[in-house]
Amino acid sequence: MEGRPHRRPSAARPGAAAARLLAAALWCCVPGAAFASGDAEAPPGASACTGCHVPAVRATSIPPIHGRPAEELAAALRGYRSGERHGTLMDRIAKGFSVEELDALAAFFAKPAP
C-alpha cells in the first residue's frame, strides 16, 4: 500500500483513535489504491489520452482504446503519424510522438483497463 498516509500516534482527543481507524479503513478500501507503481510505468503522454478515451464512456463517436490488441493500436497510430490513415484529429496528435513512443502507448493501452 505504497503512499498510504503515515499517521503519528496521538492522544490529543478521545475521538482521534476511532477516527484514525476509520481513516485507515477508508484508505484501504480505495479502489486501485495499489496501482501507484503501475502508473509510474505509463509511457509519456498516456495520461493525456484518457481526456477523450475513457474506459467508462462507450458508444460515442470516440472509439475505445483500452484492451484493444497492441498491433491494431500501433498500426493505427503509425498510420496517423505517417499520414496514411485519415483522421479528423489523431493525425495531428500522433505527429507529436516518435514511432517508438507510439508503440509504447499501444502496448500500454492493450492491457486491460484498471
Partner 1 sequence: MRRRGFLRGLAAAPVASTLAAPAIAQAAARVVVVGGGFAGATCARRLAAAGIATTLVEPATSYLACPFSNLVVAGMRDLEEQRFGFDGLRAAGVAVAAQAASVIDPLARRVALTDGIVLAYDRLVLAPGVEIRLDALPGYDAAATEAMPHAWRAGPQTTLLRAQLEAMDDGGVVAMSIPANPYRCPPGPYERASLVAHYLSTRKPRSRLLLLDAKDGFSKQRLFEKAWRELYPGIVEWVPLSRGGRVIEVQARERVLVAEFERHRVDVANVIPPQRAAPIAREAGVADRSGWCPVDPATFESRLQPGIHVIGDAAVMGAMPKSAFAANAQAKACAEVIAALLAGRAPAEPRLINTCYSLVAPGTGISVAGVYRPAANGLLAEIPGSGGTSPLDAPPEDRRLEASHAEAWFAAIAAETYG
Chain contacts with partner 1 (rule: CB under 8 A): 1-8, 10, 12-13, 15-16, 18-20, 22-23, 26-27, 29-36, 39-40, 42, 44-45, 47-54, 56-57, 60-62, 88-89, 92-93, 95-97, 101
Shorter beta-carbon distance to partner 1: residue 16 or 99: 16
Look up residue 13 and give its three cell numbers: 482527543
Cβ–Cβ < 8 Å for 55, 45: no
Can you give 22-54 as a three-state secondary structure string? HHHHHHHCCCCCCCHHHHHCCCCCHHHHCCCCC
Shorter beta-carbon distance to partner 1: residue 20 or 110: 20
Shorter beta-carbon distance to partner 1: residue 62 or 99: 62
Q: Cβ 73 to partner 1, closest distance in Å?
A: 16
Looking at this protein, which amino acid is placed at residue 1?
Answer: M
